[in-house]
Amino acid sequence: MSKDLPHVVIVGGGFGGLEAARALRNARVRITLVDKRNHHLFQPLLYQVATAGLAASDIAAPIRKILAEQENVTVLLDRAVAIDKKRKVLVLSNEELPYDFLILATGVTNDYFGNDSWEAHAPGLKSLEEALDIRRRVLLAFEAAEKEDDEAIRRRWLTFVVIGGGATGVEMAGALSEIARRTMAADFRNFNPRDARVVLLEGGPRLLPAFPPELSEQTRHDLQEIGVEVQLNARAQRIDEQGVLTANEMIEARNVLWAAGVRGVPLANSLGVPQDRAGRIWIRPDLTVEGAPGVFVIGDAAAFPVEGGILPGVAQVAIQQGRHAARNILAQLARKPLRPFSYQDRGSMATIGRNRAIAVSAGLQMTGFLAWIAWVFIHILYLVDFRNRLAVLFEWSWAYFSYNRSARIILERSAPRVELPPHPPEGARKEPA
């Protein structure tokens, strides 16, 4: 491939970054896609890995493999450290990458609203590593309860608090309750897993605030029916090894999960352009950035103003913006005007548990079994890699009929033993892709 072709650098191999790369497959450009991980992650199903329903590799596929046939793409496993917008250079851990166009698709990370000490007690759910960490904690909590004779301490092991009533929080709480009431039901001798307490805390007045109020109410009802204790207008005031303190109660719990907030990754700061309160980059209607020529920002990393706020951080926005950024790059190369982005909302959905979900599309609302079936099929259809579709379909069919969860495997954290090739250091786990 000629070195003279315009160089498009994409940071991040999530939904947006991958779609941008694919949309440029026939373009006369060189593309370099940089990600600090080797895999694309199907984030909407991450909670299933955390709750032992799916294996890590079921919802992830090597970015390199996905793009193997697209000859104008080079995939680099590396960490983007900074952007020098004057020199038009992306700084990686060991080298610099000059760009003509830069597409930032770096996503977001967990945000503890300034209470960084909470992170140790309430892990978030953004990466496969975090999902496996949560899985280990949850499974080990049941094991610890089996060995504990002190009733009060055992109760604390068996209390799960999920903070944040958005889609991730609702799905986690529902899955945890099913694990305790179904999957684990017969497996312990010294306690009844059905006695586990699962609490979902939401700071606002209703769950799933992005959905219509009737569906929020249906979700609360469904969650309570499967044993989840939903507390609305309840904020965590303190989180520590004892549990969670709210205005009403000290909830003694050894298992606290964070699904309450996200923020843009630090790489965005190095661009030196306006960001919203959560560190997302304000973008113009054509997805470019004021004062940073050649730079596009898409997906969760971007703040795209719409009536009443910004576009939500969902896969559909990232995918459509990735495609649009690619088109605007082609327009600019052809010296045509860039076009403004407009979002086509195809609807949204959340699952609550076996046979229960909610969905809204084109003003139409669905609940219950029908919504759940729709959820299952749409998620399988969107799984990037063909093989993964079949594998997940298989796991789910099995789980549905057996009530079992196939990935109930506790992996120890392996001890670092030897220097590996240049890759993101431990401390950088939350940094840009």
Rounded to 5°, the CA angle 179-215-164 comes to 55
Within 217-256, the residues that bind its own copies by CB under 8 A are 241, 254
Q: Which of 139, 234, 318, 359 binds its own copies (CB under 8 A)?
A: 139
179 bridge partner residues: none
> Minimal CA–CA distance to 176: which of 155, 199, 147?
199
- The least CB distance from residue 378 to its own copies, in Å, is 22
**Per-residue b/e over 365-376, b at no fewer than 16 CB within 10 Å?**
ebbeeebbebbb
Strand order in the sheet with 101-104: 73-77, 30-35, 7-11, 101-104, 295-297
* Interface pick for its own copies out of 204, 261, 266, 424 (rule CB under 8 A): 424
Shortest distance, position 426 Cβ to its own copies, whole Å: 4
Q: Of residues 28, 65, 194, 336, which one binds its own copies by CB under 8 A?
A: 65
Of 65 and 221, CB closest to its own copies: 65
Q: How far is the CB of 134 from its own copies (least distance, A)?
A: 10
Q: Which stretch binds its own copies (CB under 8 A): 36-44, 206-214, 259-267, 293-301?
A: 36-44
> Of 96 and 187, which CB lies nearer to its own copies in the complex structure?
187
Catalytic residue among 95, 143, 146, 171: 171
Determine the longest span between alpha carbons in the chain, in angstroms.
74
- At its nearest, how many Å lie between its own copies and the CB of residue 373? 22
Query: Which segment (7-15, 73-81, 282-290, 366-374) binds its own copies by CB under 8 A?
Result: 73-81
Rounded least distance, CB 95 to its own copies, Å: 8
Is the separation of the CB atoms in 132 and 47 below 8 Å? no
How many residues comprise the chain?
433
Contacting residue, 8, 105, 128, 198, with its own copies by CB under 8 A: 128
Considering the rule CB under 8 A, would residue 140 count as an interface residue with its own copies? yes
One character per residue 252-291, x = contact with its own copies (rule: CB under 8 A): --x-------------------------------------
**Do residues 51 and 180 make contact, with C-beta atoms less than 8 angstroms apart?**
no
**Between residues 136 and 284, which has the closer beta carbon with respect to its own copies?**
136
Written as six digits, the tokens of 336 are 């045509």
Binding residues among 360-419 for its own copies as defined by CB under 8 A = 387-388, 390-391, 394-395, 398, 402, 404, 406-419
Taking the alpha carbons at both ends of the chain, their separation in whole angstroms is 25
Choose, by CB under 8 A, the member of 58, 171, 202, 222 that binds its own copies: 58
Nearer to its own copies, 144 or 374 (CB): 144
Q: In whole angstroms, what is the distance from residue 257 CA to residue 241 CA?
A: 12
If one asks whether residue 179 binds its own copies (CB under 8 A), the answer comes out as no
State yes or no: is 146 an active-site residue.
Answer: no
Beta bridge mates, 244: 239, 251
Is residue 192 part of the contact set for its own copies (CB under 8 A)? Answer: no
Can you tell me the distance from the alpha carbon of 336 to that of 318, in angstroms, rounded to the nearest whole number? Answer: 24
Helix (H) or strand (E) holding 262: strand 262-264
Q: Which of 40, 37, 47, 4 is nearest to 21 (CA)?
A: 40
Out of 7, 16, 20, 37, the residue judged to bind its own copies by CB under 8 A = 37
Burial class (CB in 10 A: 0-12, 13-18, 19+), 42: buried
> How many Cβ atoms from other residues are within 10 Å of residue 335's Cβ?
6
Tell me if 78 contacts its own copies by CB under 8 A.
Answer: yes
- Helix 386-402 / helix 368-382 crossing angle, nearest 10 deg: 150
Residue 377 or 394: which CB sits closer to its own copies?
A: 394
Question: Shortest approach of its own copies to residue 318 CB, angstroms?
Answer: 21
In the block, tokens 């897993």 appear at 193
Residue selected from 64, 79, 263, 327 as contacting its own copies according to rule CB under 8 A:
64
Among 136, 206, 235, 284, binds its own copies (CB under 8 A): 136
Q: Which of residues 91-120 bind its own copies (CB under 8 A)?
A: 94-95, 119-120
What is the DSSP track for 1-41? --TTSPEEEEE--SHHHHHHHHHTTTSSSEEEEEESSSEEE
Hey, which residues are catalytic here? 171
